[in-house]
Structure 1
């Protein structure tokens, strides 16, 4: 487990590390990295935290402000990955149920895969075939549709889809441009579209309803998906259309004696969550974790459980509030990020971990950055206005694999500017350590 370092002792410590043979890198290399992150560098203009950790010797090689808490943005998904891997293991929690004659009573467990993207589907047709009537309840959902601290004006962007116990179509409507007008799917929402003279370029959902507006003179069709306002009534209507079964809504409490249906493989969902930074999947992951642990969908309770049971030895207590990182209330230190990353490194098979982490120049959110003939960065990105983080593994030219966290906050320019400077530092690490 990573050992924290007081900042005042760091300069002395890395010289001692070298002199005692605890690191193979020369003093000049440490000085070069210190200069790249120091008072005269690009990173002196905003708050930066950095930590480099040797997984073999289990020692910190370099750190700067690693004890300060930063907004992690989507690197929060590493925490969700840890929870899902330990608690859910290999398959989703799709729903809980009890049967009574020709009626099946179900409570959704948060599985996001039904009619979402190209995932292999839970076989609802086969599962429901013995029953004529499906009675649906959402009484087991404790957490609301939106996470704590999410920005209200993100409601019409697909990265801020609502959470629900039994989502269908990812709680999104799909938009296609046909001529100068939009066509949507599910088609039931086509009649909810109206024309406006507002100077908007996309199809926009109204704030309080699943009604939509567009301006045919300006319509560009750039937004492919728009979040829906979820409701149990909409769930049963969509489910009735899809399955051909009669669904009714009755908010009964989940009985203590119930059965579980785990309807889909977990691995493809985890991969999409990590490589494409899918917020919706991440949020639903914590719903499923909560269902598995407590038979309720309670994100706060699931997080509290994980922190107390599996993460009690972190260098700094985290403030962890959602699954995706959409909330600015999430706060983690670089050294706790590295400690979590080390746990993932020890818990997951190596091939699985590398398949889940975006690879520089090749996959996911790092496909167009950190490019090299030999990939060297395997890490989760996190970007939010004025915040950019990168947490993961780096393979250096010496053949070593290190764990790192590089967190930036309070900068006044675009994230792409910071990302380019971060890349310069990581190239330096690759070449000299």
Structure 2
């Protein structure tokens, strides 16, 4: 046999053997995942969807029910994050204004930062200091305090703060205590706290008013926060006290040619929303998106615009109704959530995205889960009763990167059990892919 033919034969045999070996390895990995997620697995007692996508080869490695809609809970915040990425840039529009001599009229732009102590503070007081007369208008607000489908009885929980055009103090009353007696801040509400004989250990608010109650016999002192009912009048009172100068409520329409006060960098908002799953920041970010693209704050119209433009090519159109995922009306398929992760990575370097997301065993909502000597899960979680999902990036032992969506609905187990079984699947991916 000629030497060239012999070498060609060897190359062919080597290539065939290599390809066959690769195929067998892929088949084995697939079978392993199928055993963990298939008919005889833990995940067959409820609705589960899973998709694993190689970010570098752009290849779907595994999928189960990836075409089925799930309640995504707080993983919907990734849609809000993407919307802010494509519309807002790096800086925050805090408010819009028109100045005339020593008089200024301001319109909120949705920024949740002012007085919200977990965020860097915009220099609002310094900017407004030269003006003797300050007017506030809410005529660019065209939305509601609560999102579509929010549970009404969540109204006094901190995770369900009301939305507003120009939030202050996170739209929360904060409770400290002295000698087992609660103290309310801001001072506008200090006389709104009353004693009740209702059986409760913390502070609750009246459903229809800013009246707060506690039972001194059962009260357990702790720092807590309770949403207050927002209104333009309440904002004016709180802002006036904070600035130590009067603010007048007016009904002026936002005119063309106005200016914008920029409060700072948007990344702290992203980090708090994605890692700590702050619902209030998520909702206000979506308001900021609406303000930017339409000059008014309307969640429904902003969502519709983003879906019809930047997200029109998703495999399945999500049913997206709020910024935070509090609503059970939100629906999304695992394959659309994976496609969303790909879109986000196209806009943001992978290492920056991984830093913004919660890291298993290290930060955010994953701090106590998915622990490993080297972090391997970087994701956004979402949990409401009987539903738990996670969408993000997994880094394998071979230093390969996969986008994944792991969605669970309608289970009767504890969420901790679901997380424990999910961890088995993701550890297998880490070690086998």
Contact conserved, 1:102 with 1:130, CA < 8 A, in 2? Answer: yes
Return the index of the structure with the highest Cα Rg.
2
Match of 1:133 in 2: 133
Secondary structure at the aligned position of 2:113 is classed as coil
Once the two structures are TM-superposed, the CA of residue 22 in structure 1 deviates from its matched residue by 8.0
Displacement of 1:129 after TM fit?
2.0
Structure 2 contact 188–238 (Cα < 8 Å) conserved? no
Distance 1:383 1:250 in 2: 41
CA offset digits 1:121-168 (Å, max 9, x no partner)? 111122112211111011111110101111000000000000011100
Q: Is the 8 A contact 2:318 2:331 kept in 1?
A: yes
Q: Does 1:71 align with 2:54?
A: no
- For residues 105-127 of structure 1, the C-alpha deviation after alignment (integer angstroms, 9 at most, x for no partner) is 11100000001024221111221
State how many pairs are aligned. 416
Matched, 1:92 2:124: no
Describe the superposition over 1:39-95 as per-residue Cα deviations: whole angstroms up to 9, x where unpaired: 111000000000000111111110000000001111011111111111111111111
**Structure 2 match to 1:409:** 409
Q: Name structure 2 gaps, 5 residues minimum.
A: 1-17
Shift of 1:222: 4.5
Shift of 1:432: 0.9
Do the aligned residues in 2 keep the contact of 1:25 with 1:432 (CA within 8 Å)?
Answer: no
Contact kept? 1:203, 1:223, Cα under 8 Å: no
User: 1:193 touches 1:211 (CA, 8 Å); kept in 2?
Assistant: yes
**Runs of 4+ deviating beyond 4 Å:** 18-24
Instruction: Give the structure 1 partner of residue 61 of structure 2.
Output: 61
C-alpha distance in structure 1 between counterparts of 2:23 and 2:242, whole Å: 61
**Superposition pairs of residues 30-429 of structure 1, within 5 angstroms:** 30-222=30-222, 224-429=224-429
Residue equivalent to 1:7: none
Structure 1 position 99, deviation (Å): 1.6
* Contact residue 175 and residue 185 of structure 2 kept, 8 A: yes
Q: Distance in 1 between matches of 2:216 and 2:245?
A: 38
**Which blocks of at least 5 consecutive residues in structure 1 are unaligned?**
1-17
Partner secondary structure for residue 188 of structure 2: helix
Q: 1:262 Cα deviation (Å)?
A: 1.4
Question: 1:202·1:223 contact (CA, 8 Å) conserved in 2?
Answer: no
Q: Distance in 2 between matches of 1:23 and 1:156?
A: 56
Per the TM alignment, residue 245 of structure 1 is displaced from its structure 2 partner at its CA by 2.0
Q: Deviations over 1:226-247 (max 9, x none)?
A: 0010011111111111112210
| Change over 3 Å in CA distance of 1:23–1:256 after alignment to 2 | farther
Deviation, structure 1 residue 187? 2.3
SS at match of 1:326: coil
1:250 CA drift (Å): 1.1
Contact 2:91/2:266 (<8 A) preserved: yes
TM-aligned CA deviation for residue 21 of structure 1: 8.3
Q: Secondary structure at the match of 1:330?
A: coil
Gap change, CA 1:33 and 1:216, over 3 Å in 2: same
Q: TM-score scaled to structure 2, two decimals?
A: 0.93
Listed one character per residue, the Cα deviations across residues 314-344 of structure 1 (whole Å, up to 9, x for unaligned) are 0001111111111111100000000000111
- Return 53-62 or 348-357, whichever deviates more: 348-357
